Amino acid sequence: MCGIIGYTGKEQAAPKLLLGLKRLEYRGYDSAGIAVFSDGKFSVCKRKGRVSELGGAEKLRGGCGIGHTRWATHGAPSERNAHPHSFGRFVLVHNGIIENYLPLKEECEARGEKFISETDSEVIAHLLEYYDRGDVLSAIKETVARLKGSYALAVMCRDEPNVLYAARRKSPLIVGKGEEGLYLASDVPAIAECRELYSLCDGEFAVLQGDNIRFYGEEGEIKKETMKLVSKSDIPEKGAYPHFMLKEMHEIPAAIANSLINFEDDFCFSGINIVLCQTEYIQIIACGTAYHSGIAAKYAIEALARVPVEVTVASEYRYRDPIVKKGTLALAVSQSGETADTLAAAELAKEKGATVIAITNAPDSSITQIAHFVLFTRAGREIAVAATKSFNAQLALLFSLATALAKTKGRQTPSLRPLPALAEEVLTEAEKMKEIAPILLGAKSVYFIGRGADYCTALEGSLKLKEISYLPSEGYPAGELKHGTLALIDEGTPVIAVLTQEGLAEKTMNAVFEVYARGGRVILVTNLPEYAARKEVYRSILLPKCEELFSPILSVIPLQALAYYTSLARGNDPDKPRNLAKSVTVE
């Protein structure tokens, strides 16, 4: 949801800002812009579209500047609405949402001030100018005290040409020291060259000047601990792959292997083991793909540990006054650890007395500051907007948790160890989706069906296809098709059926027959070859056998591949789907 960057130092700022923005582009790519201070004024270059559209920006001279890559919330993607925004002596970039910008804007307009953009962010520059009485930090403090919502802010003032000011509330912000200057950014890889990194917390401010970063909290100046430094592998590189999404799919076996946890064997999980022993009820809160991993976890936990699990989309949980009973464990699942709805839902669960375990792929993310315990999926950084390996990693971790919980209840559990090697096999088979994808091209809509654990795969397959191919698609429990959606099946409608639960196979096949009888084309993803050979099946993908409850970790791979190849066949960029961003830090 927008990426911001800032640099002040001995070298030219523009090339550093542009490189950082490239690395932040996964957060939004509706417009991009930079502002650099030189010769007593700010030079601004901004354009609609991606960072690559900022031709000529690298020539802006000056050693201090800020930059922004936008995911539009208020105001269309356009040059006019692109950041940086300026007013009077101030220029700024903002990530977040100012919920009360309209009354604030009216207040500024009543003073005769003119606005250029339709954004919520521009009002911040106006307030800064209003509150500035010679001390910029005080002006920033007074300004943010008026704001409702979320912000990560980088501010420059014409009167202090080489100083960067930063402020944060509910949007991530990192500051760092490099060999040749000081940096700030929404995320670590953008400033990976830094040798010291600090993460700002809500309500904190930073002033970057000369060789020094000074931090301030509500009470005045504070000291902060440094963060772990980034390794080279944290810097996103496509390598030999044409897209991050394909690269990340090929990293699935490693992501699974690295995210499996043996809770009993490791002393550092003793706190979580105690929590598991006391757990009587589980609430899983998450959004999008992470929500789908929660559904698969529900099937596994209930079957293996016989502990009831409720899975709720975080944006619903936070507003529905959920019932949190004694012994409730809330699992807040978020790849980025920054999803605004998931953070709010986790806070609410905690407030209501649940023990909160965050499951995230992002060390130092905001969710780690909320939860009682944190479990890290070790998928490695994921850049493509469509989640792939992080989903498989979430499943590996959640299934590990399901088996640990089952053991606390004295129940037998199946082994997770074969999964990484099996995922390797599935990746090879999934390449067949390249030939199958063209079947979807002329379709008005595409349906995904499955029962039991396969229902989760159907939902995730459908989401992937929607996100990057822009084809209308729905995922259903196979048994639900006949209750309405069957009316939409006609000659040639593609239906992807997932079939890995032997005991339910006949039942799912009934839905396949119903689709076939109405002219639909069934693509079957199964580990039961006898069904793949049926005449009603138009094309099939064969999976290796694994413990049925864990099968989504494998069966989703061909569906990820189907979405990828369909996206390519439709001429889309699978890494950067329109209207979306990787980390959804706004409501």
Active site residues: 2, 582
Q: Nearest approach, Cβ of 579 to ligand AGP (angstroms)?
A: 11
Work out which of 4, 311, 371, 386 binds ligand AGP, going by CB under 6 A.
Answer: 386
473 binds ligand AGP (CB under 6 A): no
385 binds ligand AGP (CB under 6 A): yes
Alpha helix (H) residue ranges in 169-311? 244-250, 252-259, 270-278, 288-305
293 binds ligand AGP (CB under 6 A): no
Applying CB under 6 A, the span of 55-63, 333-341, 348-356, 513-521 interacting with ligand AGP comes to 333-341
In order of 185, 208, 499, the CA distances from 60 in angstroms are 20, 21, 58
Q: Nearest-CA neighbor of 552 among 433, 426, 431?
A: 426
Residue 46 or 292: which CB sits closer to ligand AGP? 292
Burial label for 270, CB within 10 Å (0-12, 13-18, 19+), is exposed
Residue 43 or 368: which CB sits closer to ligand AGP? 368
335 binds ligand AGP (CB under 6 A): yes
Residue 506 to residue 508: CA distance in whole angstroms? 6
Work out which of 467, 474, 548, 575 binds ligand AGP, going by CB under 6 A.
Answer: 467
Residue 46 or 170: which CB sits closer to ligand AGP? 170
Token digits for 508? 């799912």
Q: Nearest approach, Cβ of 55 to ligand AGP (angstroms)?
A: 29
560 binds ligand AGP (CB under 6 A): no
**Structural contact between residues 353 and 324, judged by C-beta atoms closer than 8 angstroms:** yes
Applying CB under 6 A, the span of 210-218, 284-292, 411-419, 495-503 interacting with ligand AGP comes to 284-292
Q: Tell whether omega for the bond before 84 is within 30 degrees of 0, i.e. cis.
A: yes
Residues 209-228 that bind ligand AGP (CB under 6 A): none
The total of other beta-carbon atoms located within 10 Å of residue 519's CB is: 11
Residue 258 or 334: which CB sits closer to ligand AGP? 334
Residue 206 or 496: which CB sits closer to ligand AGP? 496
Total residues contacting ligand AGP by CB under 6 A comes to 15
Residue 488 to residue 313: CA distance in whole angstroms? 27
Q: Nearest approach, Cβ of 585 to ligand AGP (angstroms)?
A: 9
Pairing of strands 373-376, 328-334: unpaired
The total of other beta-carbon atoms located within 10 Å of residue 385's CB is: 23
Q: Nearest approach, Cβ of 325 to ligand AGP (angstroms)?
A: 25
Token digits for 419? 């999964």
For residues 315, 316, 317, 318, the Cα torsion angle rounded to the nearest 10 degrees is: 60
Residue 352 to residue 342: CA distance in whole angstroms? 15
Q: Nearest approach, Cβ of 347 to ligand AGP (angstroms)?
A: 14
Applying CB under 6 A, the span of 144-152, 216-224, 229-237, 380-388 interacting with ligand AGP comes to 380-388
Token digits for 502? 């032997």
Work out which of 14, 275, 290, 345 binds ligand AGP, going by CB under 6 A.
Answer: 290
Q: Nearest approach, Cβ of 317 to ligand AGP (angstroms)?
A: 13
339 binds ligand AGP (CB under 6 A): yes
> Coil, helix or strand for 463?
helix
342 binds ligand AGP (CB under 6 A): yes
Residue 51 or 459: which CB sits closer to ligand AGP? 459
| Amino acid identity for residue 12 in this structure | Q
334 binds ligand AGP (CB under 6 A): yes
259 binds ligand AGP (CB under 6 A): no
Work out which of 73, 555, 583, 585 binds ligand AGP, going by CB under 6 A.
Answer: 583
**Structural contact between residues 342 and 290, judged by C-beta atoms closer than 8 angstroms:** yes
Token digits for 146? 């008026």
Element (H, E) at 407: helix 389-408
Q: Nearest approach, Cβ of 346 to ligand AGP (angstroms)?
A: 11
Residue 385 to residue 58: CA distance in whole angstroms? 27
Q: Nearest approach, Cβ of 289 to ligand AGP (angstroms)?
A: 3
The total of other beta-carbon atoms located within 10 Å of residue 415's CB is: 11
Residues at the contact surface with ligand AGP, assessed by CB under 6 A: 287-290, 334-336, 339, 342, 385-387, 467, 583-584
